[in-house]
Amino acid sequence: MSPTLHAPTPTPTTLAPSALPLPPGPRGPARLPALLRLIRDPWFGPAALQRRYGDVIRLPVPFAELILLGHPDQIAQVNVAHRERYGRAAMVTDTMRVQGSPHHASWFEDDDGEWARGRKLLQPHFTQKALAELGGLFTEAIVEQVDGWGAAADRGAPLELHEQLKALALAVLYNAMFSRRIGPDEMHRLLTTLDDRMVATTVRTATFPLPGWLPRPRQAAGARGDDWLDHHLAELVADRRAAPTDVTDVLNVLLDARYGDGTPLEDHKIRTEMLFLVIGGHETTAAGMAWTFALLAQHPQIAERVREEVDALGGAAVGPEHLGRLPFARACFDEASRLQGSLVINPKLALEDDELGGYRIPRGATVLWSNVTLHRDPRFWGADADRFRPDRWLEGNAPAAAFQAFGRGPRMCLGKRLAYIEAVCTLATAFQRYRFAPPPNWEIRHQYRMSMGVRGGVPLRLARR
């Protein structure tokens, strides 16, 4: 792509949306090759379309009106300025639904009332202050997991870090939200079951325009996964009811919550909320951390700077209180999340006609953008957009609106602070103990999941320091 450092500003217009043209996009014989390209390469395929058609594109997808955005100004309109015109897209709400559950997690509700109730209930538990008070719990879970990596270092065998980081993310979430430690057998079952669930969800999302009744691969394993997870969470709730505590963790908050008429949340609803906090909080954070470790292993000089920053803590057990002293480690996580692209897509449904970039967005259209493309667009990130250069986050001019890892606006990720604390503390704890080396000639490639993983995992060799 020839780098253009200044993006054209989308054309604002005062015309009613109905008077505007639909966005351009591949039509006629150009449809099939464009569609195949998107299926083959959902990460960088959108960039090729943008070069040809601009920043608002009507995608050539059968049975669905999908509109791809490429400019942060239009994405900001969807997330913030025109927010009331957009809701969660069925592409997400349908594929995320727990099969057989009469409820949905509040995050997937279109109804602002239901969503707002869930957000108001849990937001206080995800603030910097509330999370800092859990400091010891973070440190405990992280140290235990990272110390466990030492056996591979002693054997001299490579360790697949992505899977380890999923276990770490689950341990942190269970500690922080449910005050609960996960045993080794339970961890193994949780990891495989959540993986089955997320693969099934990814398949459903990718094939969303096809009729719901069409059989799709991996759905049976996903449904079995939902069943097992539901029983597992029911046990957690039963254990807490049998031995109540007065901690103000997320589980107690859900158990104590009341609807407006004073009735408690139904048990099924409580489990659904719990499940989607686990789903929303573990794969995402683990994938972001996996990319960070992978990129640092590939860039030893940058890793050395993280080590220096970490060593300046003097070997202290790292907790949320150290975050202010680890700005470079944080910048590495930001930079890795940028290149990774976080969630594959974060689609929104147009609840009414709208105008974006001078085009009509018809009511009922699904509007989406590719974080991988946006995060690597040289118009916003400069000619070195594809390079791992954490310093760009410390120079004070990173284009915030072109970084959508956590979304933006009122529906921005609830767990963003938790994710930063977890990632930076994990990085620091690991760098205190080990050095990491990648296999020879190793390339990091995207793995198509709801959150972008690393294809083939992150098999690093660890050496104790």
Q: Work out whether 372 is an interface residue with ligand HEM (CB under 6 A).
A: no
Between CA 220 and CA 189 the distance in angstroms is 17
Q: From the list 67, 270, 414, 444, which residue makes contact with ligand HEM (rule: CB under 6 A)? A: 414
Cβ at position 294, least distance to ligand HEM in Å: 15
Q: From the list 411, 435, 446, 449, which residue makes contact with ligand HEM (rule: CB under 6 A)? A: 411
- Site stretch for ligand HEM (CB under 6 A), options 183-191, 236-244, 295-303, 400-408: 400-408
Q: Work out whether 424 is an interface residue with ligand HEM (CB under 6 A).
A: no
Q: Work out whether 117 is an interface residue with ligand HEM (CB under 6 A).
A: no
| Longest pairwise C-alpha distance within the chain | 69
Q: In terms of CB distance, is 140 or 216 closer to ligand HEM? A: 140
Q: From the list 199, 274, 303, 343, which residue makes contact with ligand HEM (rule: CB under 6 A)? A: 343
Q: Work out whether 291 is an interface residue with ligand HEM (CB under 6 A).
A: no
Binding-site residues? 413
Q: Work out whether 369 is an interface residue with ligand HEM (CB under 6 A).
A: no
Q: From the list 281, 320, 341, 347, which residue makes contact with ligand HEM (rule: CB under 6 A)? A: 281
Nearest partner of 56 among 405, 381, 360, 344, judged by Cα: 360
Q: Work out whether 198 is an interface residue with ligand HEM (CB under 6 A).
A: no
- Site stretch for ligand HEM (CB under 6 A), options 37-45, 222-230, 358-366, 409-417: 409-417
- Site stretch for ligand HEM (CB under 6 A), options 2-10, 132-140, 258-266, 340-348: 340-348
Q: Work out whether 320 is an interface residue with ligand HEM (CB under 6 A).
A: no
Q: Of 60-79, which residues contact ligand HEM (CB under 6 A)?
A: 79
Q: In terms of CB distance, is 34 or 105 closer to ligand HEM? A: 105
Cβ at position 52, least distance to ligand HEM in Å: 27
Burial 178-215 (b: 16+ CB within 10 A, else e): bbbebeeeebeebbebbbbbbbbbbbbbbebeeeeeee
Q: From the list 26, 46, 280, 319, which residue makes contact with ligand HEM (rule: CB under 6 A)? A: 280
Q: From the list 77, 201, 284, 370, which residue makes contact with ligand HEM (rule: CB under 6 A)? A: 284
Nearest partner of 149 among 135, 163, 139, judged by Cα: 163
Q: Work out whether 292 is an interface residue with ligand HEM (CB under 6 A).
A: no
Q: Work out whether 288 is an interface residue with ligand HEM (CB under 6 A).
A: yes
Cβ at position 83, least distance to ligand HEM in Å: 10
Binding-site residues for heme? 413
Q: In terms of CB distance, is 193 or 285 closer to ligand HEM? A: 285
- Say how many residues touch ligand HEM, by CB under 6 A: 22
- Site stretch for ligand HEM (CB under 6 A), options 26-34, 127-135, 356-364, 411-419: 411-419
What does the binding site for ligand HEM look like in residue numbers (CB under 6 A)? 79, 107, 119, 277, 280-281, 284-285, 288, 342-343, 346, 405-407, 411-415, 418-419
